[in-house]
Chains A and B, each alone.
Chain A
């Protein structure tokens, strides 16, 4: 079965550079969630989109922005990268807002900021 696809899987950037992470949800899933997991930390919710509209917002820095496109894929744009942005970024997708249901997580993009 198709799973959530994230690209790239690994990304190395310098401080103050920009990065774009992409998430392709499971076919027919219309909701996307972004989480950030720092080294040795638990995943922290960043932002979510349902039907191309922002549905919830967590602790996402102002330097980050995200959107969901007409084909339901989502992109997380990160500017003025800092060392502390080094983390594993997970995307998850669900059919409708997860609620009592479940979301499916992608393998993550590991971002390293040097």
Chain B
């Protein structure tokens, strides 16, 4: 089955540090990947849609300069939380669509296992 690898699974770092999270589709190509954020005991909220070879589309209220997204290949998207602060502490999950399976909303989304980010 389609596998999405997300790395690292957990990060603990000091305030002001920039943190990069990787999302890889291991056995399929993904022209589109999604980044979600989940605060404790809350739902997953879409942050941005990452499109291979073009700029990401950010949801309203998400700071583009704070959350840098790069999708340079069909199997890798990265999310960099720049100058992270304690309020950025959250669970970040990526998902990827298999470009060759289905169309639009019929395309399955495959989720990574998430990254738990803790900023001290």
* Pair from one complex: no
B positions within 8 Å CB-CB of A: none
A positions within 8 Å CB-CB of B: none
